[in-house]
Amino acid sequence: QQARFTGRTVIVTGAGSGIGRATALRLLSEGARVIAADISAERLAALEQSSGSGELVGVAGDVSLQADVDALVLAAGPTVDGLVNNAGIMDSFLPTAEITDEVWERVFRVNVTSQMRLMRAVLPGMVSAGFGRIVNIASEAGIRAGASGTTYSASKHAVIGLTKSTALFYGPKGVRCNAVAPGAVKTNIEAPFLSAWAAERLGPIMQTTIPAPAEPEELAASICWLLSEDSPNVNGAVLMSDGGWSTI
Ligand code: NAD
């Protein structure tokens, strides 16, 4: 395999499982120094076991907390070339009138605020270097309503706005910022796929339209393409990596 990331330092959040783990391993296999963040120290230890000879720095912490973001960026060192804002959580597939403040605030803190804070922290360095590659993980739920509950949909739509606006302001300074929108992927994400409310109303539609779930490695391939110099003219894009689900 071609080593597209030799000499590059890349932060990956939510690297202990699923898409983040596959992305961290792919980056390591292509020569990157990977700063792997996860709320679970146990999952990071398991990643370290599988990581072979690559340079991996595991940082346990909650990316929804500013202090943990500061510690993560400090661990990465002065130069961060790439950032994969991947950590994310689901809601319970609940519609607007059933949203609790607790779920709304937690989902937004983890799925949106963490991405803003990490970008805010690394962008000044990327601007001085004239080089930065950011990939934010959105979702099928970032472009329409049928893939999750209201809170998660709203949070992933926000990820796309955050991505496009960052691309606009920082593209001229050498930073490319794109989003990958996965469809269904075989990971450990908590997916009470349909609440009773949604199963009754959406079950038949959902079941006939979702393509077979992808492997996390398929998502890692999409993410690494956007991080690499194979996508030089791509900025502010939302790459659907969903087996064609969005075409339906
Ligand atoms: P996953 O649950 O397998 O992995 C996510 C990792 O993030 C876990 O290891 C978890 O411990 C970590 N994490 C959660 N909250 C955290 C926090 N506050 N701070 C630090 N780490 C935290 O999930 P996944 O499916 O690989 O999800 C990755 C991303 O892909 C998410 O943003 C998710 O919304 C998105 N996504 C997933 C699917 C899917 O079908 N799996 C579909 C669309 C989008």
Task: Return the percentage of the chain with pLDDT > 90, whole number.
Answer: 84
Closest CA to 80 of 46, 61, 57: 57
Kindly indicate the confidence band of residue 211, based on its pLDDT and cuts at 50, 70 and 90.
confident
Query: Measured from the CB, is residue 27 less than 6 Å from ligand 1?
Result: no
The answer to whether 198 and 93 have CB atoms below 8 angstroms apart is yes
Nearest-CA residue for atom 23 of ligand 1: 189
Span 81-89, average pLDDT: 98
Q: Which H or E run contains 176?
A: strand 175-182
**pLDDT averaged over every residue in the chain:** 94
- 228-248 pLDDT, tens digit each: 999 999 999 999 999 999 988
Task: Please give the distance, rounded to the nearest whole angstrom, from the Cα atom of residue 85 to the centre of ligand 1.
Answer: 10
The DSSP result for 184-231, as a single string, is SB-S------S-HHHHHHHHHHHHHHPPPPBPHHHHHHHHHHHHSTT-
So where are the chain's domains? 9-241
Residue 146's pLDDT is what? 83
Instruction: Pick 9-241's CATH classification: 3.40.50.720, 3.90.920.20, 3.20.140.10, 3.40.50.1980.
Output: 3.40.50.720
Radius of gyration in angstroms for the set of CA atoms belonging to the chain, rounded to a whole number? 17
